[in-house]
Structures are given as C-alpha cells and as structure tokens.
Amino acid sequence: MALITLTYAFVGIASAACLYMTLRAIYRLTLHPLVSFPGPRLRAVSHLPHAFSGWRGRQPYDVRDLHRDYGPVVRIAPDLLSFTSPSAWQDIYGHQAAKNLVKYGYFRVREDAQPMLTSFGADHVRQRTAFSHGFSDRAISEQEPALAQHIEQFLAQLRKSSRDRTIVDVGTMLRFLSFDIVGKYALSTDFGCLENNAYHPWVALLLLWFRTVTYVQNALAMGILAPFLMLFVPRRMLNSVKDHLRMSAEKVQQRLAVGDDPNIRDLWTYILQNKGEKGLTTGEMEVNAAVLLVAGTDPIADAIAGTLYFLAINPAAKKKLYDEIDGVITSQENQIVTMASTKRMPYIHACLNEGMRLYPPIPGGMRRQVAAGKTSTVAGYSLPEKTVVSVWQLPTFTLPHHFSSHDQFIPERWLPANHPDRPAYTLHDRQEAFQPFSVGPKNCLGKGLSYAEMKLILAQFLWHFEFELADNAFDIEKQKSYVFRDRPPLRVKLVERFL
C-alpha cells in the first residue's frame, strides 16, 4: 500500500512538473515580453542550450553564429539578449545606463567584502578611486624597471631555446611572464614561473578556477535546477576558488605587515595612501587582490599570443612591424626598447588592436540586468525590467556588420584616416564597435597599463627574435573559452637577430 501511494505521489509530481514546463514554454514563446526578438525557439524556451554551450567552452562561437543567422540582436536565452550594435556599448555600460542597468550573474566571493568587479554604487566608486592611483601614468612609468627585469628573464629563456634549436611554446612563456609580472605588482609575490620554466602551483590552480567560474555561472542561470547541477561540480574545482581567495588574503596580510616601504613600488604603495572612509577595508583589499591576479594575467598573454599568431600568417604585416621597430630603435643612441620608444610605434599599437579584434582575450560579454521597476533602451529597443543584456566581443568584432574585410588581419585600419597607409575601404569601419576594455564608469581600469605592457613585451620580442610557426596547433576556430581562452600551444621556431 505504501509503495502504491509513493508511486502515485511520484507520478503526480512528475505530471505537475511536466505541465509546468509545458505551460512555461508556451508562455515564453507567445506572451513573454521578449517574444518579438529573433532567435532559435529552443533558446527562447530554455536556458539549457546556452548553458550547455558554456560547459563545452563554445559559447562565444555559438553566439557569433547566432548573430550571423539572426542579426544584431538575438534572444540567446529566455531572458537574455545579445547585442552587436556599436551604440549598445554605451546603452548597456555607459554612464547613463548605470541608472537603469545593474551588474548581473556575479556570485559573491565573500559575505563580508566584494571586489570592485562585483561592487555597486558608492562602494564601486570608492574602490575605483582608491585603485586609480595605482594605474595612473605615473604608476605605469614607475613600473618600467620591474617590467624590464621580468621581460629580460623571458628573453633569456627564449635565447636558450633558440640556441638549442628547440621549438618554443611562446604562448605558455607569455603566460609565465604575465603571472610573474602581476604576481609581483598585485601581491608582492615571486611566482618564479620564468625562472623555473613551469607554472607555480597557485597559477595552475587559477587555470582550473577559470573553468569553475564558467560552470557556476551557467548552473546558476538554470533557476530551480541550479542546486542540483552544482552537485556535479567536482570538489577540486570548488576548492580552487576557496584556495585562491585564501592564498590571496594571506599575501595581502603579509604585504600590509610591511607597510609603506620606500623600497617597494607596487600596487599597494598607492592603495595604502588612501585610508579612512575613502580607503579600502582589509577584506576588500584581499578579494580585490584575488581578482586582479586573474584579470591582469591571461588577457594580456592571450592578446600578445593572438597578435603573434596573426603576424606569423601575415608576412607583409610582420615585415612592416619589424621595419617600424628597427627604425625607431636604431635611431636612438642607446638602442634599447623602452615604453617611451614604443610610443613612437603607431603600427605596433595597430597590430595589437587588430589582434584583439580578431582574437579578443575575453570573447564573451559582461551581463547587465534591467533593474526592478525600470525600463531601458538598448540600440533603439525598449526593454522591460529583469531583461539581461550584453555585448559579446567575438561576434561584435568579427562579423561583417562593422569592419570591411572583417576576417582579414589588417592593422592599417587602426591608423589615422589621413595616414598614407590607411586603406580607403576601411574608412567606413565602425571602430566604435571595438571596445576590448569596455566603456563607461565600470570599464577596465588597467587599460593604460595593459597597452604599455603589451607594446613593451611585443617590441622586445620582435627586436630580439625572428620567428615562424612550427605547426598549425593554434587554430582559433577550434579553441575553447571559459571566461578566458583555453588556448592550445603556440609553438614557434626562433632565430636570434643579434648574436
């Protein structure tokens, strides 16, 4: 009797669930406020296709394909719209947009403190102000000696491989370099990746953390199924988040114990100048250090790796960049590559921009949600409350809507309109669509430092080495993305230019 009762209960629950799912699907296809937006019907019904795409590491590519089929705005999930219109950048992330759109999809890393990335309102403004001094022109200039020291270690490892005639995975070497640089600046920590020619255990932990964040974000989008899906997250993935936060906090505590040391010029030199109500709490320092270690490493390494790949398969652009670097450096008395000398290299800046256009380090999109009781206009569309919106970088940068010869590596498109090398057919490019550091009050604060670091590294590499691809492993269409890119080796053959 009990078994029969249990069977009836199970059948009743299953029937109710099926009825609910069916009615919800009908509502989302017929009466939902976003029903007029184009997109596949299955994605309008369920979050599962988008989440599954994320778990496979193919979300940016799948969203790009959807925009190719459906146009500049696509309903990629029941309550989620993706835009590629240039105006959408300001409409979603600009100063005016902040009144009606709030950050969405970030999970709380700690109950007592939130980093600048996930903070809101006055807390975000206060934290951004405190950090801004550490990314000022003066701070960037003061970091050049430390950067030069790390880059020399990078070059030394490459020289050894070159002389041994060993094929080099320069992509991994760039990761070593970026982690060593940011570890020292953000955590006063020597990871020693370049010295040991291997990932520090903490760095290896971070690479796992990227996948964890992607899985959790997509699981949380599944609503009532989220707790069930979280059961399938491997324990070591969840522990990677906790361990990273713990180790970051420990390093911040060690740095704070040192205090204001005139012999140390790192990020905390500037943070510690802001105390009291305008400064950061200890908890905020700890969680921000954890985020900065992530945000300042892989994107820079990926941008340079992508640019090197496109230079390798575009010999005319490669030669032109070598000529520019040689012309600037040989005209100097000391013939040393510096930040000042890279400022006289417009083509290297153009190459990096074109590399990031075709191979954006963060190919996805930051999500915002229309606040409760509000409406918002994005790219001319009026959106109701709780609609989630984003601009996905990969489709926005690489589809033909905004850039002529959209799938070609043409750095000249980023030269001034009156430059003699600027192709006439690129003059109508919608360059405002290209925003790799986002826009508005929450854009990337480290944009200036990132460009300075990338140009210095790329110029130093090309000044010292000739290179060519050793194989075709770095096929960008086959790569995966979990927040950042999960890229294959970029193997090259190196020849020293000056022996």
Spatial CA neighbour of 188 closest among 253, 112, 237: 253
CB 193 within 8 A of CB 274: no
Query: How many Å apart are CA 181 and CA 187, to the nearest integer?
Result: 10
CB 104 within 8 A of CB 369: yes
Residue 239 makes CB contacts below 8 A (sequence gap 6+) with none
Query: How many Å apart are CA 465 and CA 156, to the nearest integer?
Result: 12
Query: How many Å apart are CA 438 and CA 371, to the nearest integer?
Result: 20
Query: How many Å apart are CA 267 and CA 273, to the nearest integer?
Result: 11
Triad 313, 319, 324: Cα angle to 5°: 135
Query: How many Å apart are CA 426 and CA 409, to the nearest integer?
Result: 12
The verdict on whether residue 351 carries a ligand-binding annotation is: no
CB 368 within 8 A of CB 388: yes
- CA distance readout (Å), 326 to 156, 314, 438, 467, 497: 20, 19, 33, 15, 11
Which helix or strand (DSSP H or E) is residue 75 part of?
Answer: strand 73-77
- Which residues line the annotated binding site for heme? 444
- Which residues line the annotated binding site? 444
